[in-house]
């Protein structure tokens, strides 16, 4: 520890939440947002219009800056990461927010910087105190945008993010999306924050940049000083201050294994995912735009296991007509060529809000009118989408997937509407795939418990692990306060998944998996041992998953499944999976 590190004298381990995989070792750079000094002065009645003109100009400049960041992020990281900044643009277009600032300037007689600060503080207090986690998250967006506007009004250049001459580990209480977007990935070894969760905006961008990150470390940043030595483990979620030689040696071996692992992936993209004893798994990609199709194919995707059709709606911020949807789906289908593509029907609600769809604010949107519930309540919207998907199926191998099915009645009604849509197209002599496969997402406890009933009325299952874990454990997956309870290795989750796979095997229909579990190399042996037929993940992860399948056998994976099903604690199960992976992937016995 350096002389600056007066708070810690020896090795200390801090436990947080693993947010972005990787191991980093280096010196600490304590990132501080820094409190802007807000000037205060009176504005005469004659100068109010000039002050408001300054405000209008700051809105335009800020919007332009955010637009440039969005485009750069979209080009370098993808459209999903870029959508983070759509929320910032919405803040700038919030007429109530703008009107309040204008009113404050006109009535207070103070300068616009001070008025903007006052109004933003009021809004931050309101949103921070809301129980709705989705709306509470808007506080971060407001804070980020108003800080940028203040800097523009004050004539300060840049984003406020400090850069450093040598690569370091960035330590902070929390990072905003703008902070993360402005970071030079070559100069950031890792990121450690007091607050935040796996789904925070900054974490999504860190993960896309391949920067190891650990979040939710509590008062961690208060314990460290600039220049302190830190070891960061983005796999386990640990941060070790003043690491000993023994600790560094142990993590050095881990890092070396990971580097060798990465090198071995280079030749894998277009090889099949086949185990040494002959079990084949189809590895598909999750996408939501035509642009992502090319990345998926280059990464070795054998198809698209999840096309998030709500992206078409969210992009337009409205309900596109059947023709508009058809054109979007056709582009996606044609881009995939002969490869299969699974189109999930509209899944809005929860953390995906379409303003034109929200008539009333729900107290608990994840338990409310989302996904198939919304579609069955709004049949015309649903019919329009189904007909567009059917028309697109004439241009490639399309599968249809219903999200959030919780009971047989929902599935039967959805299929009835689909049959009606086919009949309407038949009357028009429209071309479509009459044998279109229909699948059901299993992502609730009720669906898992009665999936054998669904099997009689669908062609495949897709286990949506993010929601399945959330609903099985009653843990809001975007609530940072309970993020530590979100445990994919929970025995209840594993037993539910085992039942789904058993039913799929018994009924003779394939079972796929998407979500965080599908993307976790440590979890792949479990999925393999349970009998997974297909996985769908973000394109960059595909080569790594293929590598894992090439190294482990179905037989030993099945034995592992029996072992962990006899464990009663999540941590015990997680340790079993890590031990298995280390032994098989490092060449140890």
**451 catalytic, yes or no?**
no
Q: CA nearest 402: which of 350, 335, 446, 447? A: 447
Structure confidence by residue, pLDDT tens digits, 391-402: 999 999 999 999
What's the pLDDT tens digit per position in 557-585? 999 999 999 999 999 999 999 899 888 86
Identify the active-site residue in 451, 458, 514, 576.
Answer: 514
Q: What is the per-residue pLDDT across 247-305, written as a single tens digit (0 to 9) for each?
A: 888 888 777 777 776 666 666 667 888 999 999 999 999 888 887 888 889 888 999 99
SS (H, E, C) 117-131: HHHHHHHHHHHHCCC
Sequence ranges of the chain with CATH classification 3.50.30.10: 12-33+160-245
Tell me whether residue 508 is exposed, middle or buried, using C-beta atoms within 10 angstroms of its C-beta: 0 to 12, 13 to 18, 19 or more. Answer: exposed
* 427 CB-contact burial (10 Å; exposed 0-12 / middle 13-18 / buried 19+): exposed
The dotted CATH code for 284-585 is 3.20.20.60
- Asked if 201 is an active-site residue, the reply is yes
Q: Where in the chain is the domain with CATH 3.20.20.60?
A: 284-585
Domain 12-33+160-245 in CATH 3.40.50.1370? The answer is no
Domain with CATH 1.10.274.10 in the chain: 45-153
The Cα 125–Cα 120 span in angstroms is 9
- The CATH number assigned to the domain with range 45-153 reads 1.10.274.10
Distance of CA 466 to the CA centre of its chain: 10
Instruction: Write the burial class of residue 527 (CB in 10 Å: 0-12 exposed, 13-18 middle, 19+ buried).
Output: buried
**Cβ proximity of 398 and 341 under 8 Å:** yes
The secondary element (H helix, E strand) that includes residue 18 is strand 17-20
Q: Which residues of the chain have pLDDT under 70?
A: 1-9, 32-36, 74-84, 128-138, 155-165, 176-183, 197-202, 204-205, 208, 261-269, 314-318, 349-365, 477-480, 585-589
Strand order of the sheet with strand 188-193?
Answer: 12-15, 238-241, 229-233, 23-30, 168-172, 188-193, 213-215, 17-20
**Measured between alpha carbons, how far is 554 from 551 in angstroms, rounded to an integer?**
10
Residue 209's closest CA among 181, 234, 229, 250?
Answer: 181
Task: Report the pLDDT value the prediction gives residue 495, as an integer from 0 to 100.
Answer: 97
Tokens in use for 584?
Answer: 């098989």
The token pair that represents 424 in the structure block: 């309407």
The active-site residue, picked from 25, 117, 201, 490, is: 201
Cα 261 from Cα 510, distance rounded (Å)? 30
């Amino acid at each position: 520890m350096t002389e600056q590190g007066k708070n810690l004298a020896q090795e200390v381990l801090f436990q947080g939440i693993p947010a972005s995989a990787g191991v980093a070792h280096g010196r600490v750079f304590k990132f501080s947002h820094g409190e802007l000094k807000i000037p205060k002065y009176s504005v005469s009645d004659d100068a109010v219009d000039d002050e408001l003109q300054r405000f209008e100009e700051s809105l335009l400049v800020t919007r332009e800056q955010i637009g440039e960041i969005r485009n750069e992020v979209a080009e370098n990281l993808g459209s999903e990461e870029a959508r983070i900044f759509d929320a910032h643009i919405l803040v700038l277009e919030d007429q109530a927010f703008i009107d309040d600032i204008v009113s404050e300037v006109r009535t207070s007689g103070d300068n616009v910087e001070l008025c903007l600060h006052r109004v933003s503080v009021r809004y931050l207090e309101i949103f921070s105190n809301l129980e709705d986690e989705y709306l509470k998250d808007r506080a971060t967006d407001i804070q980020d945008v108003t800080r940028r506007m203040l800097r523009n009004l004050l004539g300060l250049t840049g984003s406020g993010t400090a850069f450093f001459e040598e690569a370091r580990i960035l330590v902070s209480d929390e990072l905003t999306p703008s902070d993360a977007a402005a970071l030079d990935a070559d100069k950031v070894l890792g990121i450690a924050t007091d607050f935040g969760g796996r789904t925070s905006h900054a974490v999504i961008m860190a993960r896309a940049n391949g920067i190891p990150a650990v979040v939710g470390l509590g008062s961690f940043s208060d314990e460290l000083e600039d220049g302190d030595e830190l070891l960061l483990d983005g796999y386990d979620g640990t941060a070790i201050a003043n690491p000993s030689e023994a600790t560094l040696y142990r993590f050095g071996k881990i890092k070396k294994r990971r580097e060798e692992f990465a090198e071995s992936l280079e030749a894998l993209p277009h090889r099949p995912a086949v185990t040494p004893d002959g079990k084949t798994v189809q590895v598909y990609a999750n996408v939501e735009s035509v642009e992502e199709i090319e990345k998926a194919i280059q990464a070795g995707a054998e198809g698209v296991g999840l096309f998030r059709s709500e992206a078409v709606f969210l992009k337009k911020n409205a309900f596109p007509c059947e023709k508009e949807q058809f054109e979007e789906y056709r582009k996606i289908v044609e881009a995939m060529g002969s490869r299969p593509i699974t189109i999930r029907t509209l899944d809005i609600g929860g953390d995906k809000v379409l303003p034109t769809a929200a008539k009333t604010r729900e107290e608990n949107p994840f338990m409310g009118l989302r996904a198939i519930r919304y579609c069955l309540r709004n049949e015309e919207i649903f019919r329009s989408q189904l007909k567009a998907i059917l028309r697109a199926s004439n241009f490639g191998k399309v599968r249809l997937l219903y999200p959030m099915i919780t009971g047989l009645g929902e599935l039967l009604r959805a299929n009835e509407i689909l049959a009606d849509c086919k009949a309407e197209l038949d009357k028009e002599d429209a071309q479509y795939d009459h044998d279109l496969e229909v699948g059901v997402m299993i992502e609730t406890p009720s669906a898992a418990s009665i999936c054998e009933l669904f099997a009689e009325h669908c062609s495949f299952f897709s286990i949506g692990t993010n929601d399945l874990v959330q609903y099985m454990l009653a843990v809001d997956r975007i609530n940072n306060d309970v993020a530590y309870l979100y445990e994919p290795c929970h025995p209840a989750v594993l037993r539910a998944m085992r039942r789904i796979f058993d039913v799929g095997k018994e009924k003779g229909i394939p079972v796929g998996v998407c979500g965080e579990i599908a993307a976790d190399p440590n979890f792949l042996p479990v999925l393999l041992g349970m009998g997974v037929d297909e996985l769908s993940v973000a394109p960059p992860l595909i080569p790594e998953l293929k590598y894992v399948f090439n190294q482990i056998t179905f037989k030993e994976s099945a034995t592992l499944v029996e072992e962990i099903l006899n464990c009663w604690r999540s941590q015990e199960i997680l340790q079993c999976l890590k031990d298995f992976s280390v032994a098989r992937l490092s060449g140890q016995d």
